[in-house]
């Protein structure tokens, strides 16, 4: 059993209360280890360390390229330990090893991307009048809080903290209580670099204790959050009390829009990958399938065959689909499936799978539900499991209406060989990312990512995310 510690001000720390909590392997629900149940005292300690370091001279005097070098060093450590990190992510989150390897690769690339960006963030000079020079400077925002969900811990820890450190902030991470392992590994790698104490801190604990304190701490200057809509709303309210900005990524109900003129093979692969990745426990999961009416029966038959050929089991054994995180998440998913069975028709799947030797794990067949009304909860809410709802359309207009017909707007996939159609749809889709004839673009480190509507606001990834962690100062100097 692994006993993990918080990482505050360059030291490994127990919680002030001494209380600990367990985290589990979703494959069999066995305990993997314990983490400190951090509380207000611990969060205050971490924020105070981050503040002292931010205000001190050591970190301020770090040159941009020196900040970048540290991020490259972390990337190098991630790559060196790729297989071990992937194994940890798999036992912690449950996902198949191949998916964990892709996540670890993405994490290394975030550190490289933002390491390289650290000395390339520039202001502007703005013409005002003769005898005056006006320019803008991007300054760090201060102490940034990063609240991490359990589904992609290594990627999500990496993408926002690398951007925040590249721009000269000091950070406090609240690790996901269910999946702390790889976040703590990132802390270990930072610990081995020349990063000053107090720049990178990680607290562990529950959302409504450590997370809530971090989001309402008066010295925090920005909050980055990925997770559920209700928690996002709480965080935004807490931030309002201190008038600080937030970046919220709150999941979705993302559609794949399939036209009869698509490349069938690529489309099937794309649709399947987007709903089975991490057993559907993905913010950007392609959880609605919208098919051109005349093509529906043919496509569904092929889809059913493919889904039924997939293997389900523990992530370490390299199956296509791993377990659901926990009993709580399983019950949420299966109750949507039951509701879907009542209101519509199950095309395939719909049941729990019992795996020998892993009887306590929660495995669910990939499930397709047809014949629902589009306003049904099953078709509107984020299920967070391998569950796909299907609808058909006859015209482009109907396709757009269905695609835009939820409160979410994170990602949309469009599958067609007609260029004009693809552009017309992309124009009308209300989502932060639109993919044509692909879905996800291999992680898309460089692409801005974030939501329309209730999927949140602000953008992560790419150069765009650097703006979250900086504030713009305009300086006007009169010299005549
Ligand atoms: P959550 O949104 O409550 O948790 C995400 C993170 O927020 C965790 O680190 C948690 O400790 C923290 N947190 C919880 N309450 C908080 C509070 N009051 N103040 C500050 N931080 C807080 O999501 P949870 O309970 O893990 O999952 C529930 C559902 O949320 C899932 O079934 C799924 O639908 C959705 N979800 C979506 C994710 C996404 O990638 N968009 C990721 C995780 C969950
Ligand atoms: Mg776990």
- 147-186 confidence digits (pLDDT tens): 999 999 999 999 999 999 999 999 999 999 999 999 999 9
**Beta carbons of 170 and 50 less than 8 angstroms apart:** yes
Residue range 351-393, pLDDT digits in tens: 999 999 999 999 999 999 999 999 999 999 999 999 999 999 9
249 is catalytic: yes
Q: Of all helices (H) and strands (E), which one includes residue 476? A: strand 470-478
97 part of a folded domain? yes
Ligand 1 proximity of 207 Cβ (cutoff 6 Å): yes
Q: State residue 134's pLDDT score.
A: 98
148 part of a folded domain? yes
Phi, psi of 18, rounded to the nearest 5 degrees:
80, -5
Q: Are residues 7 and 95 in the same domain?
A: yes
Ligand showing the shortest atom-to-Cα distance for residue 232: 1
Ligand 1 proximity of 254 Cβ (cutoff 6 Å): no
Q: Are residues 321 and 382 in the same domain?
A: yes
464 is catalytic: no
Q: In whole angstroms, give the CA distance from residue 222 to residue 164.
A: 10
Q: Are residues 209 and 151 in the same domain?
A: yes
Q: Are residues 184 and 307 in the same domain?
A: no
The count of residues in the chain is 480
450 part of a folded domain? no
> Where do runs of H (alpha helix) occur along 148-228?
153-166, 181-191, 212-216
Phi, psi of 321, rounded to the nearest 5 degrees:
-130, 130
110 part of a folded domain? yes
Q: Of all helices (H) and strands (E), which one includes residue 25? A: strand 20-25
**% of residues, the chain, pLDDT over 70:** 100
200 part of a folded domain? yes
Q: Which range of residues forms the domain containing residue 434?
A: 255-445
Residue range 397-443, pLDDT digits in tens: 999 999 999 999 999 999 999 999 999 999 999 999 999 999 987 77
Nearest to 389 by CA among 400, 399, 411, 374: 374
Q: Of all helices (H) and strands (E), which one includes residue 137? A: strand 132-140
Residue range 26-37, pLDDT digits in tens: 999 999 999 999
Residue range 79-126, pLDDT digits in tens: 999 999 999 999 999 999 999 999 999 999 999 999 999 999 999 999
Q: In whole angstroms, give the CA distance from residue 340 to residue 372.
A: 7
Q: Are residues 100 and 215 in the same domain?
A: yes
60 part of a folded domain? yes
Q: What is the CATH number of the domain that holds 288?
A: 3.40.309.10
Per-residue CA distances from 365 to 99, 308, 330 (Å): 18, 8, 12
Q: Are residues 283 and 214 in the same domain?
A: no
452 part of a folded domain? no
Q: What is the CATH number of the domain that holds 137?
A: 3.40.605.10
Q: Are residues 351 and 369 in the same domain?
A: yes
For the CA of 328, the nearest atom of ligand 1:
32
Q: Are residues 290 and 157 in the same domain?
A: no
From ligand 2's centre to the CA of 91, what distance in Å? 7
From ligand 2's centre to the CA of 140, what distance in Å? 34
For 470, the 3-state DSSP assignment is strand
Q: In whole angstroms, give the CA distance from residue 356 to residue 341.
A: 27
Q: Are residues 411 and 267 in the same domain?
A: yes
DSSP string, 382-430: ---SSEEEEEEESSHHHHHHHHT-SSEESEEEEE-S-HHHHHHHHHH--
Residue range 208-224, pLDDT digits in tens: 999 999 999 999 999 99
Q: State residue 2's pLDDT score.
A: 87
Number of structural domains in the chain: 2
Q: Are residues 197 and 58 in the same domain?
A: yes
Nearest to 367 by CA among 393, 390, 343: 390
Q: Is the pLDDT of residue 1 over 80?
A: no
Q: In whole angstroms, give the CA distance from residue 50 to residue 10.
A: 10
Chain CA centroid to CA 315, Å: 20
- Candidates 283, 292, 382, 460; catalytic one: 283
Nearest to 427 by CA among 396, 392, 464, 456: 396
Residue nearest to atom 15 of ligand 1 (CA): 207
Q: Are residues 31 and 154 in the same domain?
A: yes
Q: Are residues 237 and 306 in the same domain?
A: no
> Which neighbouring-strand residues pair with 249?
226, 456
Residue range 215-261, pLDDT digits in tens: 999 999 999 999 999 999 999 999 999 999 999 999 899 999 999 99
From ligand 2's centre to the CA of 227, what distance in Å? 16
Q: In whole angstroms, give the CA distance from residue 287 to residue 254.
A: 6
For the CA of 382, the nearest atom of ligand 1:
34
Q: In the predicted model, what is the mean pLDDT of the chain?
A: 97
């Amino acid at each position: 059993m692994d006993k993990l510690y918080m990482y505050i001000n360059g030291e490994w720390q127990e919680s002030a209360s001494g209380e600990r909590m367990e985290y589990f392997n979703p494959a069999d629900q066995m305990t993997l280890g314990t983490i400190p149940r951090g509380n207000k005292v611990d969060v205050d300690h971490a924020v105070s360390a981050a503040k002292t370091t931010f205000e001190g001279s050591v970190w301020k005097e770090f040159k941009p390229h020196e900040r970048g070098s540290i991020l490259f060093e972390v990337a190098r450590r991630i790559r060196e330990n790729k297989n071990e990190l992937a194994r940890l992510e798999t036992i912690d989150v449950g996902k198949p090893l191949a998916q964990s390897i892709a996540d670890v690769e993405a994490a290394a690339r975030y550190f490289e991307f933002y390491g390289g960006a650290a000395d390339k963030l520039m202001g502007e000079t703005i013409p005002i009048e003769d005898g005056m020079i006006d320019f803008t400077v991007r300054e760090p925002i201060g102490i940034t809080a990063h609240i991490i969900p359990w589904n992609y811990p290594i990627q999500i820890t990496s993408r926002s903290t690398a951007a925040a450190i590249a721009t000269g902030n000091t950070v406090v991470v609240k690790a996901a209580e269910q999946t702390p392992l790889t976040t703590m590994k990132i802390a270990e790698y930072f610990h081995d670099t020349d990063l000053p104490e107090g720049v990178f801190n990680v607290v562990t604990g529950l959302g409504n204790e450590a997370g809530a304190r971090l989001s309402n701490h008066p010295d925090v200057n920005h909050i980055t959050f990925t997770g559920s809509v209700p928690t996002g709303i709480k965080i935004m309210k807490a931030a309002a009390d201190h008038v600080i900005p937030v970046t919220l990524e709150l999941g979705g109900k993302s559609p794949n829009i399939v036209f009869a003129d698509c490349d069938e093979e690529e489309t099937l692969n794309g649709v399947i990958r987007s709903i089975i990745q991490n057993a559907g426990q993905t913010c950007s999961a392609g959880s609605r399938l919208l098919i051109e009416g005349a093509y529906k029966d043919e496509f569904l038959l092929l889809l059913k065959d493919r889904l039924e050929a997939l293997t389900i089991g523990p992530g370490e054994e390299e199956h296509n689909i791993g377990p659901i995180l926990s009993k709580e998440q399983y019950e949420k998913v299966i109750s949507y499936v039951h509701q879907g069975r009542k209101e519509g028709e199950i095309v395939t799947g719909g049941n729990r799978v019992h795996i020998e030797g892993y009887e306590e794990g929660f495995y669910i067949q990939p499930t397709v539900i047809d014949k629902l009304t589009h306003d049904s909860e099953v078709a509107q809410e984020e299920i967070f499991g391998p569950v796909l709802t299907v609808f058909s359309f006859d015209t482009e207009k109907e396709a757009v209406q269905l695609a835009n017909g939820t409160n979410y707007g994170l990602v949309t996939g469009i599958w067609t060989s007609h260029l004009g159609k693809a552009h017309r749809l992309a124009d009308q889709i209300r989502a932060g990312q639109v993919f044509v004839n692909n879905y996800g673009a291999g992680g898309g480190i460089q692409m801005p990512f974030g939501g329309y509507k209730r999927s949140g606001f602000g953008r992560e990834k790419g150069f765009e995310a650097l703006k979250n962690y900086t504030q713009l100062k305009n300086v006007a100097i009169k010299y005549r």
